Chain A
């Protein structure tokens, strides 16, 4: 089991990473926060012997994905805050960043998670597949379809 100090350090390092993953699945701040909390609690409780930082991070993402799937199946999903209200609080550098964000959030959930892991976290297709528990070919297909749907915003940003 991790010491309190080491647990806090890991939590601070990866909290935002797993929040992005959770939010991409759930599109709800409250639900994403719940998933993050559950994943961090699982980390605290595990007696797993992690081989390094990347191992911890991958493990946390994997657990978060499972937590998200669990929440999606639950009848107790919190739907307290309309997504728009939360999005109004987000600070984007440029207006087109907000538009691209909105376009990503309009994607199907299975595409959003791939976008976050591949583009934001920089995982390879094979690594993304392992984290999501799907075949690499599926990730490749989802990535291509997501990219196709985002093409307008990705090219607009250059103009």
Chain B
């Protein structure tokens, strides 16, 4: 008779890394040895020079004690801009051309502050709470969210030690859990009135391009992973590494956070799709809901998602074929799909949303792999 262990080993035995994995890693190693580790990102830094000029406004405003510049920080220039037409082809300072960099391209459309103010200004709330974890002081400044819980917030972190172990290339925050003093990724949760329940939100944080050695402003884009029904507050918690034992692999950290009440939500506009699919769009994000009789569960995805605007322009939210990804955070909330925009959208001006992708599941006891092509209209 086989033991439980033997049965499970036999069931998992067929899983193997793809055949070209090692070859690709060795190729990357070869390039690192030739060109250095981060050469490919230099072009990104160059592209952010213009961003720094605008972002300086928000930091200066903060220093004066006012939380202005929120829209510029969140929707102005945080995301990478300036990618060339091939999206994956970068040229470093020495003229070396890189074609392997796999970060999706982003088309940035900075928010017009007046339009942003008109669409979401009333719902944008100030927090102004600080917490000190280890040597790092975090100050949550402002946030805004829509009726589905999608939105953005900003916080400032002050670290007199100069952010040990962290890098901010292209705005992307890289953490090092093995370096004492390094921070851990922040955790955002929705909570009930007493702060007792924690329901996770998916969040992506982007550091401002114009930070100093000891101060960084961070924009966090978020979408709920679980229902926010009945939730009345948000809790943003932070962690700082206090020790790492290389023998056991254990990371010790201090944690702390701030709790603040939800603000009024930005309303979303309902859209109708075919076969029971529906969607709703707000200035901040898009939610797609499968039909009540959903045979796919979460096992569906869209690799081509376009918002058509009344003036004839398009907002390509996601187009994997051309390696474009113009949304900041995306996740499933149960069987719903949430996408947070990297710009402000006026739902009044949206004509339709087209979504193409695939879904896999069971129908009448038979496996199905369907191509999905959906158009949502008001």
Contact = CB atoms under 8 A, between A and B. Distances in A.
Interface of A: 4, 7-8, 11-12, 15-16, 18-20, 23, 29, 32-33, 36-37, 40-41, 44-45, 48, 51, 55, 58-59, 62, 66, 70, 73-77, 79-80, 82-85, 90-94, 97-98, 100-101, 104, 115-116, 119-120, 122, 130-131, 133, 147, 154, 157-158
Instruction: Determine chain A's interface SS by DSSP, over half rule.
Output: helix
A49 to B, nearest CB: 9
A59 B250 CA distance: 10
B114 interface: no
A52 to B, nearest CB: 11
Given A33-B21, A75-B328, A16 B16 contact: yes
B134 interface: no
Contacts of A84: 299, 360, 367, 369
26 contacts: A4-B29, A8-B26, A11-B25, A15-B21, A20-B12, A32-B17, A37-B25, A37-B28, A40-B25, A41-B29, A48-B246, A66-B177, A75-B204, A75-B325, A76-B104, A83-B360, A84-B367, A92-B11, A98-B11, A101-B14, A119-B4, A119-B5, A119-B9, A122-B5, A133-B249, A158-B1
Contacts of A97: 7, 10-11, 13
A112 to B, nearest CB: 10
Nearest to B358: A82
Contacts of A133: 249-251
Nearest to A158: B1
B333 to A, nearest CB: 14
A33 B102 CA distance: 14
Interface string B21-55: 11011101100100001000000000000000000
Given A83-B360, A119-B5, A131 B249 contact: yes
Contacts of A23: 15
Contacts of A8: 22, 26
A20 B15 contact: yes
A36 B21 contact: yes
B197 interface: no
A91 B14 contact: yes
Contacts of A154: 4, 7
Nearest to A119: B8
Contact of B325 (A44, A76, A93): A76
Given A19-B16, A73-B202, A85-B360, 17 more contacts: A12-B22, A23-B15, A33-B18, A40-B21, A44-B25, A45-B37, A75-B204, A83-B299, A84-B299, A84-B360, A97-B7, A101-B14, A104-B8, A104-B11, A120-B9, A147-B4, A154-B4
B82 interface: no
A90 B15 contact: yes
